[in-house]
Amino acid sequence: MDFPLAFLFCFLAIPVFGDNTSSKPRSCSDVRQFYSGKGFSLSGVPQTEISGEHLRVCSQGYTCCTSDMEDGLASLSKREFEALVKEAGRSLQASLNSQYKNFDGYFLELLNGSERSVQSFLSVYGSLYSQNAHIFQDLYGELRRYQRGASVNLEETFNDLWARLLERAFKASHPQYVIGDEYLECVAKQAETLRPFGDVPRDLKLKASRAIIAARSFVQGLTVAGEVVRKVSQVPLSPECVRAIMKLMYCPHCRMMASVRPCTNYCRNVMKGCLANQADLDTEWQNLVDALLQVTSRFAGETSVDVLINSIPLRISEAMLTMQENNEVFSSKVFQACGSPRLAATHSSRSEEPRKRANAAADSKPHLTLTVSVKLEKLVSDVTSKLREMQQYWVQLPNALCNDRVTAGVANEDKCWNGMGKARYLPEVMGDGLASQINNPEVEIDITKPDMTIRQQIMALKIMTNRLNSAFNGNDVDFQDATDDVSGSGSGMCSDELCARSPRVIVPNTDRPNVYAYPAENEMVHSTGSRIHPRIALLLLPLATLSLWR
């Protein structure tokens, strides 16, 4: 993944000048030039070295820095490092947003194309279709609303489709009768056991719902991930971290050792300390990525979302043909159970159109070859690669910021800036996360006081992961925006074009009427493969475009 971070290290592009070991006070001309180049006034900047007893961050040897210079460089360190972390987050967020747009657009495109196919599949039914086209329009309208995040009960939506079709089909088959609402209620009760549409309603509802639930959960998982990155990347540095970054980056200037790069392990301890809270996202971030990767398995094979959505017109056509073929038997049993409805005042003999249309439908039943599209396969391949690359982002960020182009590297462990001078850095490197920083020699951290913004985002990741796991098993859940659920004050809305459109989804109605008494639908779908594990190698933050020390 190409994260353009290197250019943000411009504050590290330090002019090279060697150490002067002469006993005479050294000239501060290079430091003055550097300090002025950063936009500071040279007023009060010494011309030659002075005693450093006044320094509060850098070591108190001979120096070219005053207290005001130290304060200015500390503030500069804070701004530049926060901008660096934010830009890294923006790059990751942009990648997630791009994937979100690709998949969300594709799923809506699928629904639109499936709706267009309805007319060609169902036109053979003549007036039965043309006079009731709004039923199918309503179906696809509800599916689009669901995909956009509205409170839509998919089971109820499909049940309503078949209930309305049954009502229209039964009336069309018996134009000589006056069929009221009470009689239609009786017809619906008989349909629970007689199943005039065959097994299609149950099969389509089960499979299509699971595919659509997976599609929506996937795009919302990408949205939540992007929002978490945005919020975490804006967390400000603590005062202790400001001092540590200043000491790492700018104290060599004050000591006239700007050409000496930081020791690698020294840099890592500073970054692990300053990004300790962010590293605590790692477990839940990896769980979220695993859940997203797991859901992508729903986009392949016979249960793929595009196969099932494209099959809706064909399955409806099959159901209507079954209804036409079974019409006489079904009507006979309805009349036995519900009685004969009242004849219309002026009635015609029983229409032959349903029978004729049934024969026409049987003779010209359309066929459709349903396979996973090349476009969806490409989308899945691309997002799988991107997700695996970003899976260890939070724990790899400190190491990425201490790249060999930033630090002295392993070959120069004895000739690097260790925070005090040009020598080997002896302390061990701390682990990842807040709890591991209790003995960090470079950053003073109270491990009992975690950053609350980041803790909230950890909870947001947990919530979204649970929802994705439920969706993988075909279960609809409350898709409230997880980042807003736990973020406390603030709207959580994005402030720039990189933020994905985060659909607002409300708790679906769980009081679902049973129009048709099909067998229980509590089968759970389980993954048959092993859990997807990420590649260990992280392709984050390439810093090949710019040498940080010149």
Q: Is 262 helix (H, G, I), strand (E, B) or coil?
A: strand
- What is the pLDDT tens value at each position of the chain, 550 positions in all? 444 433 334 334 333 333 444 457 788 888 999 888 888 888 888 988 888 888 889 988 889 999 999 999 999 999 989 998 999 899 999 999 999 999 999 999 999 999 998 887 777 777 767 788 899 999 999 999 999 989 899 999 999 999 999 999 899 888 898 999 999 999 999 998 999 999 999 999 999 999 999 999 999 999 999 999 999 999 999 999 999 999 999 999 998 888 899 999 999 999 999 999 999 999 999 999 999 999 999 898 888 899 999 999 999 989 988 998 888 999 999 999 999 888 877 655 445 554 555 455 444 455 555 666 889 999 999 999 999 999 999 999 999 889 888 898 888 889 999 999 999 999 999 999 999 999 999 999 999 999 999 999 999 999 999 999 999 998 887 543 433 443 333 333 343 434 433 443 333 332 333 332 333 333 333 333 333 233 323 333 333 322 333 3
Structure confidence at residue 21 (pLDDT): 44
394 in Cβ contact with 285 (< 8 Å): yes
Instruction: Output helix, strand, coil percentages for the chain, rounded to the nearest 5.
Output: 55, 0, 40
Q: CA-CA distance, 486 to 457, in Å (whole number)?
A: 7
Structure confidence at residue 347 (pLDDT): 55
For residue 177, the surrounding DSSP H or E stretch is strand 177-178
Structure confidence at residue 532 (pLDDT): 29
For residue 359, the surrounding DSSP H or E stretch is helix 353-363
Looking only at the bridges linking them, the beta strands covering 177-178 and 342-343 are: antiparallel
| pTM reported for the whole predicted model | 0.78
Structure confidence at residue 404 (pLDDT): 83
Closest CA to 384 of 322, 293, 475, 298: 293
